[in-house]
């Protein structure tokens, strides 16, 4: 049961990542993308485990848009019998001006589990898209539908209670992706602290939308988030 000071909200995350097609240890003739470096500039995201020992962020490409209910029910069912803990969210990946529907998977222990997890989703009625004739590799824009579990540590500043070293800064207005890219450049240009990765996010609350910036740094703390918030707010008109 969640503690009373933890917020659980549904929302979206929008970010850019370098994705590559993977061919090994997946079901034949299926399409799977991987973000080998989900936070550019940061290594060993899962701690001391070697980078190539476990998949970080996987995107299982499916044949159509599956609803939040379909994905959530499938995830709940699979967790009752799958060999280890995992997390899965629905989303889209846009790369080379083409958009694919995906299930984003995190926290698998080994690449050997990918094929088994795909089989589980097939058992739940999901259909995977066939692998294209050429491997895809490039920067993708990724939109994830997800549930946030947040702890407010200051006014409009949250820490993620599930994903380590993720923080969120509430911003006063909505930004389109291209606008956020420019805002992000300006804020980082004027920031002289430790490098951080950022993405655009929002959650639903009280029939309204709360816009946020997701911040990642392996040494995340309140002081850092306050400083980053200040730099972004200096650029928000």
The 10s digit of each residue's pLDDT in 113-172 is 999 999 999 999 999 999 998 999 999 999 999 999 999 999 999 999 988 899 999 999
DSSP string, 144-163: EEEEEEEEEEETTEEEESSS
CA dihedral sign of residues 6, 167, 102, 42: negative
Query: Residue 81: what pLDDT?
Result: 93
**What confidence score (pLDDT) does residue 1 get?**
39
Rounded CA separation 57/32 (Å): 11
Q: Which of 96, 90, 115, 235 is nearest to 175 (CA)?
A: 235
Please give the pLDDT value at position 10: 95
pLDDT tens string, the chain, 237 residues long: the values are 345 589 999 999 999 999 999 999 999 999 999 998 776 655 555 444 444 568 889 999 999 999 889 999 999 999 999 988 899 999 999 999 999 999 999 989 999 999 999 999 999 999 999 999 899 999 999 999 999 999 999 999 999 998 889 999 999 999 999 999 999 999 999 999 989 999 999 999 999 999 999 999 999 999 999 999 999 999 997
Q: What is the 3-state secondary structure (H, E, C) of 177-197?
A: HHHHHHHHHHHHHCCCCCCCE
Q: Which helix (H) or strand (E) holds 77?
A: helix 68-79
* pTM, 2 dp: 0.90
């Amino acid at each position: 049961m969640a503690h009373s000071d933890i917020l659980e909200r549904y929302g979206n995350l929008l970010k850019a990542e370098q994705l590559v097609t993977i061919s090994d240890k997946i079901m034949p003739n299926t399409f799977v993308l991987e973000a080998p470096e989900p936070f550019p500039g940061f290594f060993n995201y899962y701690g001391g485990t070697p980078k190539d020992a476990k998949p970080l962020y996987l995107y299982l490409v499916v044949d159509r848009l599956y609803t939040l209910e379909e994905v959530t029910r499938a995830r709940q069912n699979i967790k009752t019998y799958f060999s280890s803990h995992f997390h899965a969210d629905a989303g889209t990946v846009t790369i080379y001006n083409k958009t694919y529907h995906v299930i984003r998977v995190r926290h698998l222990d080994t690449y050997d589990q990918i094929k088994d997890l795909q089989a589980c989703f097939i058992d739940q009625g999901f259909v995977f898209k066939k692998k294209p004739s050429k491997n895809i590799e490039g920067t993708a824009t990724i939109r994830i539908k997800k549930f946030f579990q947040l702890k407010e540590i200051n006014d409009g500043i949250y820490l993620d209670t599930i994903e380590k070293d993720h923080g969120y800064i509430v911003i006063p207005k909505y930004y389109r992706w291209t606008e956020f890219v420019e805002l992000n450049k300006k804020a980082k240009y004027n920031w002289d602290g430790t490098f951080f990765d950022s993405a655009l996010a929002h959650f639903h609350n009280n029939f309204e939308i709360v816009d946020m910036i997701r911040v990642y740094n392996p040494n995340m703390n309140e002081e850092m988030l306050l400083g980053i918030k200040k730099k972004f707010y200096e650029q928000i008109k």
